Amino acid sequence: MSEADAATSVNVAEKLGFKNGDLIQEFGYDDDVDFDLRDDIEDLTGSEMLDEDDHEVADAVILWWRDGDGDLVDSLMDSLTTLSDNGVVWVLTPKSGRDGYVSPAEIQEAAPTAGLHVTTSAGVSKDWSAVRLVSRKNK
């Protein structure tokens, strides 16, 4: 990887609002996730991501979500269990045209039921898009 590529990928992790010392909990991990993005987040935060079974308070959540993964509201509720009061949830979905694509409307519909509000979206890699969700009180 060139220096320019490395700087760009770290910038994606920074664009998601992560910083050194943050604890990030990951849900929906599978063999199709973007491993470069995961590595960049871990490099920036200085620690490995927590998995679904960890009980430490997380500063943010990464939820890898694909069509057919089940009930998005339930998964969002699960992701809030150890999230700090000011934490954010990033829902990462395959981009349009990719296997497992999820319509942004599905996320828009599920978020309020889970007590969350959609704030922004971002392309985070060639195959994945991200939608940022926050608690309604943290708009």
Write the pLDDT tens digit of every residue in 98-118: 999 999 999 999 999 999 999
pLDDT recorded at residue 2: 40
The structure's pTM equals 0.90
Write the pLDDT tens digit of every residue in 30-68: 999 999 999 999 999 999 999 999 999 999 999 999 999
91 touches 131 (CB < 8 A): yes
Helical pair 104-113 and 72-79, crossing angle rounded to 10 deg: 60
- Which own/partner contact pairs does 66-69 have at CB distance under 8 Å and 24+ positions apart? 66/28, 66/32, 66/93, 66/94, 66/99, 66/100, 66/102, 67/94, 67/100, 67/101, 67/102, 68/100, 69/28, 69/100
Mean pLDDT of 91-95: 97
Ranges of beta strands (E only) in 38-108 are 58-64, 83-94
Enter the tokens of residue 34: 């973007």
The angle subtended at Cα 13 by Cα 8 and Cα 18, nearest 5°, is 145
